[in-house]
Amino acid sequence: MALPILHDWDSYFDNHHEGLGSSYERIILNKLLLNLKRRYKFTSVLEAPCFGFTGISGLNSIVLSRSGCRVTLLDNDPRRVERIRQIHQDLNADIEVQSISSYHQLPFTDRAFDFSWNFSALWFVDDLTAFLAELNRVTAKAILLCVPNRQGIGYKWQKAHSDIPAGLVFNEQNIDLELLKSEMNKLNWVLIREDYIDCPPWPDIGMSKEKFLGGYLSRVKVNKFNDKPSKQVSIMDFYRGKDSKFAKRMLKYSILENHAPTCFKKLWSHHFWMLFEPSTHK
């Protein structure tokens, strides 16, 4: 989670410097999504809501679009929808972005998508029960829900040190794991797997990770973590096909992701995901 995004999400469309944290997060998330695509062989994808706590909005499903899926995004902010469309045009990404006033009713036919998902976005839904019922209606094969790790040190630190903009729909109860599992169970969706994700060497704090690595890990040279800490970090050239080594650079930080025990990840990981399948043939 990065609470400052609530104030400055628009700025990332002008300055693509997302920093080390969001860049690493995207590559790890890309790996998960592609693994799920191979497992379920889905060809149609809905990401709703598509605004979460990460840099440039609307980029999370590009990896699925580039792998041959028909992708649709939903967002309830008309200005953000236009900015997402512009960024997709810049990247030559064939993704449909729709503006929606409410998530109570989704503008799609039954089972319109093989796979539906969202990332750190559920707390912008004002009626969770109604939204999940709609997600159930329009999804055939699998639903992935990714939420911030509320047990994490970084989450608790940000909650204690950040303010929520007045008037913003921000329902923290929507990311309660037991509530989500209960709601999905009522809709006859079975939890297939759950796990922590996004577990880099830095905590989930609302500040530059380069600054954290330089200022807080004083015994370790920053260059060990980032070859060029002063250089802007953005995934955009990777998606443009101009930086083929970007993913490899980000994966240098995945030692905890790959090897840390669950008891550590519970306190350190930035996010948690749950994968659901329908209990009966839809």
pTM equals 0.90
Structural domain for 80, as ranges? 5-278
| pLDDT (0 to 100) of residue 224 | 46
| pLDDT (0 to 100) of residue 230 | 46
Encode pLDDT of 219-261 as tens digits: 444 444 444 444 789 999 999 999 999 999 999 999 999 999 9
| pLDDT (0 to 100) of residue 115 | 98
In the chain, how many domains are there? 1
CA quadruple 11, 13, 14, 16: dihedral sign: positive
| pLDDT (0 to 100) of residue 212 | 56
Provide the CATH number for the domain around residue 215: 3.40.50.150
| pLDDT (0 to 100) of residue 2 | 56
Query: Residues 42, 86, 26, CA angle at the centre, nearest 5°?
Result: 50
| Low-confidence stretches of the chain (pLDDT beneath 70) | 1-5, 163-169, 206-230, 281-282
Specify whether the backbone of 71 is left (phi greater than 0), alpha (psi in -120 to 50) or beta: beta
| pLDDT (0 to 100) of residue 159 | 79
